[in-house]
Amino acid sequence: MTSTLQNSSATTVTPVVLRHAAGRGSLGGVGLVLAGAVTVQFGSACAALLFPRTGALGALALRVTFAALLLLVVTRPRLRGYSRADWAVVGGFGLALGGMNILFYQAIDRIPLGSAVTFEVLGPLLLSVVAARRPASLLWAGLALAGVFLLGRGGFGRLDAAGVAFALGAGAMWAAYIVLNARAGARFPRLDGLAIAMTVAALISLPLGIGSAGGTLLEPGVLVLGLAIAVMSSGVPYALETLALRRLPAATFAVLTSLAPALAALAGYLVLDQGLSPTQCVAIAMVVTASAGAVRTGKR
């Protein structure tokens, strides 16, 4: 799903989240967001292949735990010298990260990947509307929202209600993740905040996964696939998103995430054999246009 944000050591956090200088490093930020979105959606598609053996919670536990271990080894985060407020922010970031993933995996265990991401992206889109300062930003967000609904047109009525509810909940946590990720990035250097937050998410997810899958999680084949999914769905995309939020305004970042349904539909087609209708292709074009327009508006 992702899924961030981190650093530059500033003490004042809220202005950092919603008041980035327009267009600063925007081109590089866009590339980071797109690369992260591609890896996370294809990672989610691969994770669905693991569900029959471990269940959704088991697959999630492997993904988040491996991602946390990798980040801890690579970043070796410093744990001293932070205030209670700093720990509250990174703790909230970890809870949002864990909650977002738990709810999303419950959703894709019940409804198709493309539909789940279509509902989930409504959270970031709402954030883009709230954070936008220009009327044009609202128009681009509206176009992206229309594309999101068109992407799932004709299929939502047949979806499992619990799956839809989980996806919407994941969207709310995704919006919180974007804001808290940026705030953690302002307080923790490098990727330290992300590593700590991922550890918090692992501590939440691992007991649920063990309770669901038990000893199956220790099978060699399961462990190898779990590690691959962790790299694709957590380690790489969250790190890229963390770096992207240092370059892009939160509103632009949130609208760019509207590309997620299109990428999820593509991943579903290539990995899970889910086809794309002409209507869905039009919806994808609308979302891409809205994302490009949001970036252009941010530059101006």
Residue type, 144: A
| pLDDT on residue 164 | 86
Residue 249 has φ and ψ, to the nearest 5°, of -65, 150
| pLDDT on residue 104 | 92
| pLDDT on residue 199 | 94
DSSP state of 153: T
Query: 3-state DSSP helix/strand/coil percent for the chain, to nearest 5?
Result: 80, 0, 20
Residue 59 has φ and ψ, to the nearest 5°, of -60, -40
The gap from C-alpha 243 to its chain's centroid, in whole angstroms, comes to 14
From 93, 89, 114, 94, select the one nearest 104 (Cα to Cα): 114
Q: Which residues of 51-73 are buried (b: 16+ CB within 10 A; e: fewer)?
A: beebbbbbbbbbbbbbbbbbbbe
114 touches 264 (CB < 8 A): yes
Largest CA distance in the chain: 55
CB under 8 Å to 221, separation ≥6 — which residues? none
Separation in Å, CA 195 to CA 2, 181, 294: 15, 11, 30
Q: What is the CA radius of gyration of the chain?
A: 18
CB under 8 Å to 9, separation ≥6 — which residues? 186, 187, 189
Cα separation, 99 vs 97, in Å, equals 6
Rounded average pLDDT per 10-residue block, the chain, 300 residues = 37 35 59 83 82 90 91 88 91 94 91 80 75 73 78 63 90 90 86 91 93 89 89 80 76 70 76 69 76 63
Regarding pTM above 0.85, the answer is: no
DSSP state of 7: -
**Residue ranges of domains in the chain:** 14-299
CB under 8 Å to 38, separation ≥6 — which residues? 263
